[in-house]
Chains A and B, each alone.
Chain A
């Protein structure tokens, strides 16, 4: 209570009335007068009486200080003084201040951006009820991409037989539809989910209601649609009256029963579905029915564990069911063991994403460390230059603690300003990133309190890191020695100063970062040059409205006649668009189509004649399909090399037969092997079947032409109007369509490239600062040397030799670290190999160039020393 009152009084005095020395002065005067009177009464002379009174009172100045300290908040008052002084000092050396601010801004900004992304992707929990007990079922084998786990009938079996989950929900996330509302038609994508989906995730509607388990009563029984908040706002203008209305999805009526809450987008972080429909009604949207096929592996399974059940128990339970299913349905269920993961990051890709983001975090922290080392060097150098001032202050009675505090205040001010600039810059950058959506799917990186806090922590930590450097200098040496500050002796080679260590460390970190970015760039180049087995460049994907099967041939033929089109073809699904699973292939003569008897499992594509040419896939031997391969003619197929080798070894495959989907198929051609799912896959078998011999109705249209996509769209529209009027046409260049696949490599390259650039800048400023400083300090010495006849080479080596040695040592250290941490880099970059001579050479060359660039100006300054002029100065 007493302390509280006292603090309040102090605070009040501090804020309201800081200059209240009047009362004390008056009291002192009155006290001394009273004592003087008393002394006079005791018989002293007037003058002596007053002197004695003053002596007895004691030092009034010290007293005033104590009194004021008691009265206000001396800590804060001193702090204000320190701040004011620091600002003045910083203003006096604007170049230093600007360099320090920019360095910090970049270092802290980079870290805030990285942390913002990490926060959004990894740290924020999924926006569903109790995300910890929510799991996604996966095949035990680690697979990139491939979200799909089971067939719908298998999901039903798992739901009925398991004892460990309070609920299992199925999701098919590749649903596409044309939404017709009033007179607008709109392409939308969404999720087909089982009825218990929303209850399992614990979601409450924003308007209307969400469908539930009871709404599904067999196929086609639940023509309901739940709209996402975004779609509701974009298309339906947030009209609550839309609940109960009927919209058309792929020309089938669906009743809007509700709107999902804002921000809810299922259990995948990067996917924002426009709608959810009950899986029972999937056939109306998807054209093919997967509810009854055990071979259509289309369902992603989410499950919520019962309380008290461990993931291991649940996995064992599921695997027992899976093995049992494989026994009952040997032709369709392979009994793959399962495992549980937390969903949100594209299945197993989460491991890659996590690894990537944490590695980038480490690199960003390294950038900040290098920046701090840089600033520490600068601050230490400045403190050395200010030695005389500091010594004077010690001599005048300032405590060393006070000096340290002042120096730290300076560091904190600089880093707060730099940090603020960095956070603002990071915020702008993140906003830009959000708007341009470089992320796969959609991810909004919010700058929330946690990001600001991280920014503040980065700022204060760096202030401590570099602010402590000059403190050492205050602590040692007597004022007298500090004040003399004579011309410093040439630094001895053996003597390693802290500044040298700092610069060496900084260069090592920078080399590491530059190596990493070179690795990334090279990886990217390699990815772009990697043989895909098709040539996206110069080809476009055309999205057409529904084309009846009998119109496909005229459409393709008509497209070929468009000037500038060299080839055109259709395929059920272009490579690297996900969602294709291995189809079992049997040798000719096998009659028991158990999965165990299959020879291999392969990618299967259905294509029209001309697709291979349009896609740029080379046909190595044999023939392409023709329109004469029809449902009535013998089944034919084109296999890739990998398929042929695994089936028949080195024997010529043309004329050989195999069984796919129960049909005996003859090989008529062999195509080159390519990439079918992702860049990292090993060579996979693939087989192409004629579209005209399959049931497949979905088809992607590939056109090869040098004309720009916009022009192509118009030309196609004109051509198609004769065959199939009013067909909507959308044209996308194939490389653009593939950007998602290249996203990881591109993101890695951009992230590491930026880190590398920052590192290069830091290396330059570090070396420049050190060399320039040493030249400034040794001007006079260099002048003397030149006057005595030193050669230019000697002068240069004296001036910038030391930074160069440090550069060499630091680079070597950085390169070694790069090689040693190659595992880290491999996690980030496809086919990373820091030991690659091109990369080592590139890094060495870069560092040498940076070193040369950074030390050129100081070296020139050293050479331009005019001894006669210098000697005449002071």
Chain B
């Protein structure tokens, strides 16, 4: 049986940053939902793993959080991107794109290309 891909912390952090970048202020559940929607079922289990990542980003100063009312008028903690967070998102994005393109090129490689 093939194991479902574990979301690595770094990846998850990037997804969180991107989500907040696009959607502005969101609470934890909202972030989890968006990531689930975009990534398919990548985060359909163990949604809780999101929270240590959020804390970490907050301690790094990439995001800020504050209590606020949710859509159902529940108390929820809302997260939003800081300027430092936006910068680090840009940096991470470039890094990923680079990695991805390199890997992609490798996967395209055929025997005669290397001859």
Contacts and interface: CB of A to CB of B under 8 A. Distances in A.
Nearest to A59: B48
A529 interface: no
Nearest to A66: B52
Contacts of A71: 55, 59
Interface stretch (A1-9, A635-643, A701-709): A1-9
A2 B88 contact: yes
Given A30-B74, A31-B32, 12 more contacts: A5-B59, A6-B56, A9-B59, A24-B51, A26-B77, A27-B51, A30-B76, A31-B29, A31-B48, A34-B70, A37-B72, A66-B52
A402 to B, nearest CB: 20
How many A residues are at the interface, by size bracket? 20 to 34
B93 interface: no
A279 B71 CA distance: 101
Interface of A: 2-3, 5-6, 9-10, 23-24, 26-28, 30-31, 33-35, 37, 55-60, 63, 66-67, 69-71
Given A2-B60, A5-B60, A34 B45 contact: no
A608 B66 CA distance: 105
Contacts of A27: 28, 51, 76-77
B74 A63 contact: no
Interface string B58-91: 0111100000001010111100000010001000
A37 to B, nearest CB: 6
Contacts of A59: 46, 48
B44 A56 contact: yes
A3 B88 CA distance: 12
A363 B47 CA distance: 63
List the 6 shortest-distance A-B pairs measured between CB atoms, nearest first: A58-B46, A9-B59, A63-B48, A34-B29, A58-B48, A66-B52
Give the interface size class of chain B. 20 to 34
Given A23-B77, A70-B59, A58 B45 contact: yes
Interface in B26-40: 27-29, 32
Contacts of B44: 56
A28 to B, nearest CB: 7
A58 B32 CA distance: 13
B11 interface: no
B98 interface: no
Contacts of A69: 52
Contacts of B29: 30-31, 34-35
B49 interface: yes
22 contacts: A5-B59, A6-B59, A9-B60, A10-B59, A27-B51, A28-B51, A30-B28, A30-B74, A33-B72, A33-B74, A34-B29, A34-B76, A35-B47, A55-B45, A56-B47, A57-B46, A60-B48, A63-B49, A67-B51, A67-B52, A67-B55, A70-B52
Contact of B48 (A10, A23, A57): A57
Contacts of A58: 45-49
A196 B45 CA distance: 88
Contacts of A9: 59-60
Nearest to B43: A56
Contacts of A56: 44-45, 47
A63 B32 CA distance: 15
A6 B48 CA distance: 21
B14 to A, nearest CB: 14
A67 to B, nearest CB: 5
B60 A30 contact: no
Nearest to A54: B48
B47 A30 contact: no
A57 B49 CA distance: 8
